Amino acid sequence: MKDITLVNLNTLIFNHRQNCNLGLASIEAYLQSHGVNCRVINHYQVDEYKDSSSVFAFSVSDFSYEFAAYWTDKLQDKMIVWGGWTASALPEWLLQKNPGIDYVIMDEGERRLYKLLKSCDEPELFAQLDGIAYRDFDNKIQIRPPADYLNMDDLPYPGELAVMNDLVFIELSRGCYGKCKYCQENSRMRFKSAKRIVEEIEHWIDKGYDRFNIGNANSLTNGKLLAGVLDEIEYRQLYIQIALVGRPNDVLRNQQVLERYFASRYIDLIFIEIGIEANAQRLLDLLGRTTTPQINEKATQTLCKLKKNYSSSVKINANIILFSHFEMTIHELIDNIRFLAVFGASKDVFSTHLYGLAGTAIWQEMEQQGFTKQERFALEIREYPFTDRHVHKLHQKLVQEPITNMLRSSRATVQDMQKIQHHCHDKLVDFYHSPDIYKAIMEYLEAD
């Protein structure tokens, strides 16, 4: 069977301690468990290892597209496979734009990539593959949608790429039920069993770790599973730290289970993060969020109350897209500012503004408005005008101009972006504490 080199492109923006890629960690472990000779390298090692394998696979996101495209052109004597969220969202477009790509793997990559490699020696197996896009002998693009998924309990334990800053990421689920208009994730949800999740936790405890992020962006979805995980942890008497991430609706549906996590003597909660995204109903509708400002606030209040009653050290993170949509009004922005200031839970997790990611409904709406992607970010629309002139001017002053200045530096880091976000957050909270938020914003805009 062919050797394969898996290229981790997260190192384009993260340092070695933040170099987490749970997808590649799982794929590497799966391939090795099936006897495939594979290695994971970082983006800056491609030239060093270009002669080491006959197959190169790139895990591609919007921010890493240009790099993957560059090396795909350079490695034309290799078999090139692309995977990841962006590949799953845009298989046909990627093949059209990049003639050097041989195959695009959609959704789960473990078994599909293994079968693809195996089919190089046993060509009759290729007809059985699903979740793959390629060119046929007539150079026509063929797309076989994903039809089957792995039993997540059958996956081997991932390697060290599942760790970021000593926090181990444990997959509780895959997929998403939300179908938000700005997100590329579109696969159906599936789950590991509680027993398997806690066995994986014990595996990492044996390696010296005790801090875990349980689940993906939807770890609060399945209340019965969350309860089962806690039952297993308590039965085995595992003293660990845990982080959870989910949706406001799920916080309210599974409040009793969450209270058990707060109250458990075995669990030390690190943080719970929920996706608020906007604090005005029209904005939530424009984003395709199936929630309301009232639900968002009640969920945040619920978590803050649990924190007060059980654990003052746990951090409640309420993720919000500050400039939530290009059609937002100044008064809707003020609604977002109120949420920031009242709950004080968004400084480290909010997004400055909405990005249009390729293939999403928001991307299509932005293209219809005539917005265009920038050369540096080929699969993202990051810069665009806001309909409300006051919103536009404030975004330019607080967000766009600092980001533009930052990107002029070849040494710009994630930490530099965090500094911009913190300054933006603090300025908006200052507006909230003024006697009149609207007047304070106008005075700030007129100060130039």
> For the CA atoms of the chain, what is the radius of gyration?
23
For residue 370, pLDDT over 90 is answered with: yes
Per the rule left: phi > 0, alpha: psi between -120 and 50, beta: everything else, 252 is: alpha
**Band of pLDDT at residue 415, cut at 50, 70 and 90:** confident
H, E, C per residue of 170-228: ECCEECCCCCCCCCCCCCCCEECCHHHHHHHHHHHHCCCCCEEEECCCCCCCCHHHHHH
Give me the domains of the chain, ranges plus CATH numbers: 4-144 (3.40.50.280), 166-445 (3.80.30.20)
Percent of the chain with pLDDT over 90: 79
Strands 211-214 and 240-246, by their bridges, are parallel
- DSSP-derived letter for residue 18 is G
Contact 141, 135 (CB under 8 A): yes
State the DSSP H helix or E strand holding residue 4, giving kind and residue range, or none if neither. strand 4-8
The model carries a pTM of 0.91
Q: Buried b vs exposed e over 18-27: b needs ≥16 C-beta within 10 Å? A: ebbbbbbbbb
Residue 177 reports pLDDT greater than 80: yes
Amino acid at position 260, single letter = R
The encoded tokens of residue 152 equal 């997540």
Please state the φ and ψ torsions of residue 194, each to the nearest 5 degrees.
-60, -40
Confidence of residue 428 (pLDDT cuts 50, 70, 90): very high
Mean local confidence (pLDDT), 34-57: 93
Q: Once rounded to an integer, what is the mean pLDDT over residues 417-434?
A: 93
pLDDT, mean of residues 408-431: 86
Q: Which residue has the higher pLDDT, 143 or 61?
A: 143
Contact 6, 38 (CB under 8 A): yes
Question: pLDDT at residue 413 above 80?
Answer: no
Note the residue count of the chain: 448
Residue with the larger pLDDT of the pair 10 and 180: 180
Summarised one tens digit per residue, pLDDT across range 84-127 is 988 888 999 999 999 999 999 999 999 999 999 999 999 999 99
Q: What is the rounded distance in angstroms from the CA atom of residue 352 to the CA atom of residue 349? A: 10
Dihedral angle sign, alpha carbons of residues 149, 154, 156, 162:
positive
Q: For the chain, first and last CA: distance in Å?
A: 65
Of the segments 61-65, 68-72, 347-351, which one has the largest average pLDDT value?
Answer: 68-72
Please tell me the distance from the alpha carbon of residue 400 to that of residue 354, in angstroms, as a whole number: 12
Model confidence pLDDT, tens digit, residues 114-161? 999 999 999 999 999 999 999 999 999 999 999 999 999 999 999 999
Q: What confidence score (pLDDT) does residue 374 get?
A: 72
C-alpha–C-alpha distance, residues 144 and 132, integer Å: 5
